[in-house]
Amino acid sequence: MNSVNTAQPHTVPVKTLTDERGHLGIVEAMADAGFLFRRLYFLYGTTGEARGHHAHKALRQYMLAIHGAFTVTLKGRGQTFTFRLESPTQALIIPPGYWRELEDFTVDAVCLVAASAEYDEADYIRDYNEFLQWEQTHA
Ligand code: TYD
């Protein structure tokens, strides 16, 4: 098995039980994401506009396309990662300290995010140059 640097963004499989009634997806916070969830939020009805354009200083996120598909680009530590989330059987783990952009949503896309903390505007960096400066001292 390939080892995954868990400090980097990476995808993980979502445990899925399938029988004649359909699919049952299961997420256990510690076992599957590696952190506890304190907030859920979801995006839907996206209009074609990109979202994101910010980084989080401490927040951890577990993200999946419950329905439809979208692309997540993550920048940090001199690297750029691009993930196309297009199945509820695969989730993306986003560690703290990555600038993110979400785009190319299909019209039916539903993005579910489980986050490690409640909403806190002070945890956001919304200016890319400020993010690059913050990285110099924190990442
Ligand atoms: P934001 O995180 O900036 O999302 P996006 O980059 O996709 O637009 O959130 C958009 C707005 O919603 C912003 O004003 C903050 C607010 N918000 C909350 O009040 N609570 C939350 O849990 C989230 C995710 C956003």
98 C-alpha to center of ligand 1: Å?
16
Residue with tokens 């256990």: 28
- Please provide the size of the chain in residues: 139
Q: Which ligand 1 atom minimizes the distance to the CA of 113?
A: 24
Look at residue 68 in the predicted model and tell me its pLDDT. 98
- Say whether pLDDT at 31 is over 90: yes
Instruction: State the Cα–Cα distance between residues 83 and 131, nearest whole angstrom.
Output: 21
Q: pLDDT band at 6, cuts 50/70/90?
A: low
- Say whether pLDDT at 1 is over 50: no
Q: pLDDT band at 7, cuts 50/70/90?
A: confident
Q: For residue range 68-80, what is the model confidence (pLDDT) as tens digits?
A: 999 999 999 999 9
- Model's pTM, two decimal places? 0.95
54 is catalytic: yes
First CA to last CA distance, the chain: 28
87 C-alpha to center of ligand 1: Å?
24
- Residue nearest atom 3 in ligand 1 by C-alpha distance: 52
Average pLDDT over residues 51-68: 98
